[in-house]
Amino acid sequence: MVGYTDSNWCGDKDDRKSTVGYIFLYGGALISWCSRKEPVVALSTCEAEYIAASLSACQGVWLSNMTNEISNVKCDSVIIKVGNMSAINLARNPIAHGRSKHIEMKFHYLREQVSCGKLKLEHCRTELQVADVLTKVVTVETFVRLRNLMCIKSLENMN
């Protein structure tokens, strides 16, 4: 199981909240996706991406548990692709950082899941970040390329 997560820092011009998006693939098939506003205003891109990854972590752990319950396939850990190395480092390092003390404790769920091995975070290059279609305005070419990476077909081509 692989998840992609992204955030557009301060994307809403009215309240400065970011939009989080995540996509989960199982065996290459799209099984879950979400796009919504983050519940708090992030003070940096690192924080916005960390919050997005934390919200994705909740979905990833739930999907993993559900897969384990309904099938004979054991999903030991979920890979989540994150586009921000600072957010990955923050999740991997259990020592409280001075710059992250203000992040609400509920978002440190991500750190807990990474440290116990249920989640593995990997960096994802921008051109492969399929969650961008849920958080940013993208060109038609980028949309088609990312849609193809998610194995989604256009209904126009289904003749």
Q: What is the CATH number of the domain that holds 68?
A: 3.30.420.10
Rounded alpha-carbon distances, angstroms, from residue 122 to 14, 23, 78, 87, 114:
32, 14, 10, 11, 11
Q: Nearest-5° angle of CA 35, CA 36, CA 38?
A: 130
Q: pTM for this one? A: 0.78
pLDDT over threshold 90, residue 154: no
**Which 8-state DSSP code applies to residue 157?**
G
**pLDDT tens, residue by residue, 21-73:** 999 999 889 999 999 888 888 878 888 898 899 889 999 999 998 888 888 77
Enclosing domain of residue 35: 2-157
Number of domains in the chain: 1
